[in-house]
Structure 1
């Protein structure tokens, strides 16, 4: 079924493919056409991202110090606790472009203050906005989850019309067999998301997807609002063949690929999509 029900034109819940098609930046409803700039946290990285061919800019938001909710949200990925960039400064720069944004929250502490800042620029961000948190423990996950209900409730209280990116904490170990996403994991996620009306993308780790195809296909079939965003850890061992397997088994309108080099180039070339470096 069509993904056009996701959100009205120019809204934060507008389907990414429809937005970039409308702006003549991609040529088809294919998630593999969307280019990403990952971890655009510091000012130099933001400048590079804005000058790049990326469609979507991903960045990480934390509150420095003791993690209390009173600090100013800054752009950094733990274990970093300092940055030359605040969320406010980041938004002022990104607003000058037409790129979509994905903000990744590692704790609840930064969420409410960040929503207040987003509210101030709401009218200037007529584009897809994805808000991400890992809300459930996943395969080999040891990181702390962000409590699902308060995260979803806080975001929704400010922005009922936004795209959620809701994931699992994961780990990957080169020396052992890595289990994929279990039925329990995907059913728990579906239980949480079935009550939402916003589009939801599920970030899933490339090295764990092939062994979880049945579970993830089941999850995507539960709603036209759902999609996957394939991501990779920098030391993960997976192959371009794994990505092509995903490509062959899932609806190409429902899978995005935020992956690192050299696999990104190899994958795009294998499926005939021009690579912009």
Structure 2
């Protein structure tokens, strides 16, 4: 049985946004995580790009490079602005039709719906309609606006997300933030109980607080279950969770 904690996640920021450095990863396995927005191309039209601290790389270049050199890797596309969703899906559809896209694709976006209705975010139904009408062959990875999870993940937030996703045939991985998860996490266990096609992805980054800020939420989920949970977290957190698991096993003997 696999343990999703073992899966490595890499972002373009690890390599200063240089496309050629993707070849460094060709002997590894895991997920390439890209934040996607729209930027002007060299000919002046808006295209989806993978963001980094230095500049945006055309997403098409990234996808073709990863598909050519890193076939075992999955590709996680976090859509950072509503206008970038449809152009990204149209690009995926084009590359798929050209037999240039073989990797598992995840599409992630913070959404507005029901109890987490929030101005400035795409409506959940619009997100799902776009995916199913343009390029449905993805893992759908919906999240909540940060404005609504400051007190943690409450029952209404979880129940409405389940309502939004109830008729999907695709794999779904719900996106959870580690810091609010540490304030209220018990309701999130329902996300794993409804369907075998549902997983969760717990995220944390240095920009969202220190390792200590996110660790209680990570540990709570890890203690509850080791199946169906992905960890998009810094290596320091990953190593600490692994060590904590070893200690729990030893203490139970």
Give the TM-score taking structure 1 as reference length.
Answer: 0.73
Compare the two structures and name the one with the higher strand fraction: 2
1:50-107 per-residue CA deviation (whole Å, 9 max, x = no partner) reads 4233510010111137xxxx61112226xx7x83411111112111212110111122
Whether the aligned pair in 1 keeps the contact of 2:111 and 2:124 (CA below 8 Å) is yes
Q: Please, which of 95, 98, 104 is the counterpart of residue 121 of structure 1? A: 95
The residue correspondences of 1:136-215 to structure 2 (distance < 5 A) are: 136=112, 144-170=120-146, 179-215=151-187
Aligned partners of 1:31, 1:198: CA distance in 2, in Å?
A: 19
1:223 aligned onto 2:185: no
In structure 2, the partner of 1:59 is: 34
Whether the aligned pair in 2 keeps the contact of 1:131 and 1:165 (CA below 8 Å) is yes
In structure 1, the partner of 2:60 is: 88
The structure-2 alpha-carbon separation of the partners of 1:50 and 1:166, relative to structure 1 and needing over 3 Å to count, comes to farther
Using the TM superposition, give the Cα deviation of residue 248 of structure 1 relative to its aligned residue in structure 2, in angstroms. 1.5
Q: Please, which of 211, 228, 237 is the counterpart of residue 263 of structure 1? A: 237
1:20-41 per-residue CA deviation (whole Å, 9 max, x = no partner) reads xxxxxxxx32111111013559
The residue correspondences of 1:99-138 to structure 2 (distance < 5 A) are: 99-122=73-96, 123-136=99-112
Whether the aligned pair in 1 keeps the contact of 2:178 and 2:215 (CA below 8 Å) is no
SS at match of 1:224: coil
1:219-269 per-residue CA deviation (whole Å, 9 max, x = no partner) reads 22111111111111424242645423311202x221000112422222233
Compare the two structures and name the one with the higher helix fraction: 2
The structure-2 alpha-carbon separation of the partners of 1:54 and 1:41, relative to structure 1 and needing over 3 Å to count, comes to same
Aligned partners of 1:266, 1:222: CA distance in 2, in Å?
A: 30
Aligned partners of 1:261, 1:44: CA distance in 2, in Å?
A: 19
Using the TM superposition, give the Cα deviation of residue 44 of structure 1 relative to its aligned residue in structure 2, in angstroms. 3.5
1:98-125 per-residue CA deviation (whole Å, 9 max, x = no partner) reads 2110111122211222222111221333
Whether the aligned pair in 1 keeps the contact of 2:191 and 2:199 (CA below 8 Å) is no
Stretches of structure 1 lacking an aligned partner (at least 5 in a row)? 1-27, 273-277
In structure 2, the partner of 1:22 is: none
Aligned partners of 1:41, 1:241: CA distance in 2, in Å?
A: 25
The structure-2 alpha-carbon separation of the partners of 1:248 and 1:34, relative to structure 1 and needing over 3 Å to count, comes to same
Aligned partners of 2:228, 2:120: CA distance in 1, in Å?
A: 28
Stretches of structure 2 lacking an aligned partner (at least 5 in a row)? 247-253
Moved more, 163-172 or 238-247: 238-247
Give the TM-score taking structure 2 as reference length.
Answer: 0.79
Aligned partners of 1:219, 1:86: CA distance in 2, in Å?
A: 34
Aligned partners of 1:193, 1:241: CA distance in 2, in Å?
A: 28
1:34 aligned onto 2:7: yes
The alignment covers a number of residue pairs equal to 233
The structure-2 alpha-carbon separation of the partners of 1:140 and 1:161, relative to structure 1 and needing over 3 Å to count, comes to closer
Alignment RMSD: 3.1
